[in-house]
Amino acid sequence: MTKTLSEPDYVASALTAASLVPFPDPAHPWRLVARPGRIEVLQSDGDREALAACGAAVLNMQLALRAAGHAATVDLLPDRTRPDLLAVVWIRARCTPSIQERSLARAIPVLHEARVPRGGGPVPPDVRAALVRAAEREEADLLLLEPPAEVDALRGLLAEAGWLTGSGLAGLVAVLSSYTDTLRGQVRAGRALQRVLLTGVVQGARARVLLRPETVQKARPELRGFLGHQVNPQAVLAFRFAPAVPPRQRRS
């Protein structure tokens, strides 16, 4: 990460948010360069999890900037002559963030630090719909496997191929897919995964990532055959509904 002491607080907050991503790695495979009016994301590793993490980092920066009152737009792979330039986050004029943007930004450190509860009940229909919309917002598809027979079939498929061990697939199981598997598609899949996970935190549905992008790539033929359509599976998730309990008010 490249930064200077003269950076405004909102830029520093965005750079911090970029480090709070799925698949945390002490040596993030990217560099963030803060320049006047923009933050450049330079990649040094092109594997799937690195690209997904970069996509999540870009979304986090965008949300952090908007929550701080600055409009932010993103250009992915903006310069063909610079293959290392994965994205540019443009810092625009002042804006009023929406309630949803503030909520998602507040969820970033919660998602990164909090453990996923083992208990929890079924995910309500309105929360399921919110998770699906979150994926659609990032041009991705979130397929919820609701009938037990579908979950059992997927469990058997993945276990037989050696991709899943233990009990696994407990809770509301979902497969996140992208519509393309280009470099841009893999980055957008990382954005979609992060938006779905953050939406889950806001809605009280915490998720475990059962199969990460690298593993899903190996299991893709089996997953595609199971799903029955030509999407590109990127991750397999399991949600549990366990909303945060507000602290009790003290009696006066």
Q: What is the pLDDT along the chain (252 residues), one digit of tens a residue?
A: 444 334 578 999 999 999 898 775 655 778 899 999 999 999 876 688 888 989 999 999 999 999 999 999 999 999 999 988 999 999 998 999 999 999 999 999 998 876 666 667 889 999 999 999 999 999 999 999 987 888 888 888 877 767 766 556 678 999 999 999 898 999 999 999 999 999 999 999 989 888 888 788 888 888 888 887 778 999 999 998 987 644 343 343
Helix (H) or strand (E) holding 162: none
Q: Is residue 156 part of a domain?
A: yes
Q: What is the spatial distance between Cα 69 and Cα 14, in angstroms, rounded to a whole number?
A: 12
Q: Give me the count of residues in the chain.
A: 252
Exposed, middle or buried: residue 82 (CB in 10 Å: 0-12, 13-18, 19+)? exposed
CB 235 within 8 A of CB 200: no
Q: Is residue 142 part of a domain?
A: yes
Judgement on whether residues 103 and 211 belong to the same structural domain of the protein = no
Q: What range defines the domain where residue 43 resides?
A: 9-113
Judgement on whether residues 136 and 106 belong to the same structural domain of the protein = no
Residue type, 45: D
Judgement on whether residues 135 and 50 belong to the same structural domain of the protein = no
Q: DSSP secondary structure string, 140-158?
A: EEEEEE-SHHHHHHHHHHH
The pLDDT score that the predictor gives to residue 15 is: 94
The pLDDT score that the predictor gives to residue 39 is: 96
Q: Is residue 249 part of a domain?
A: no
Q: Is residue 3 part of a domain?
A: no
Judgement on whether residues 80 and 160 belong to the same structural domain of the protein = no
Q: What is the spatial distance between Cα 233 and Cα 221, in angstroms, rounded to a whole number?
A: 9
Q: Is residue 1 part of a domain?
A: no
CB 175 within 8 A of CB 233: yes
The pLDDT score that the predictor gives to residue 167 is: 58
CB 247 within 8 A of CB 221: no
- Entry pTM: 0.88
Q: Look at residues 65, 92, 113 and tell me which one is the last residue of a structural domain.
A: 113
CB 169 within 8 A of CB 215: no
The pLDDT score that the predictor gives to residue 14 is: 95
Tokens 């027979």 locate to: 149
Phi and psi (nearest 5°) for 223? -65, -40
Judgement on whether residues 109 and 31 belong to the same structural domain of the protein = yes
Q: Is residue 120 part of a domain?
A: no
Judgement on whether residues 104 and 50 belong to the same structural domain of the protein = yes
Number of domains the chain is built from = 2
Q: Look at residues 81, 113, 145 and tell me which one is the last residue of a structural domain.
A: 113
The pLDDT score that the predictor gives to residue 250 is: 35
Q: Look at residues 113, 148, 180 and tell me which one is the last residue of a structural domain.
A: 113
Q: Is residue 252 part of a domain?
A: no
Judgement on whether residues 60 and 140 belong to the same structural domain of the protein = no
Judgement on whether residues 141 and 67 belong to the same structural domain of the protein = no
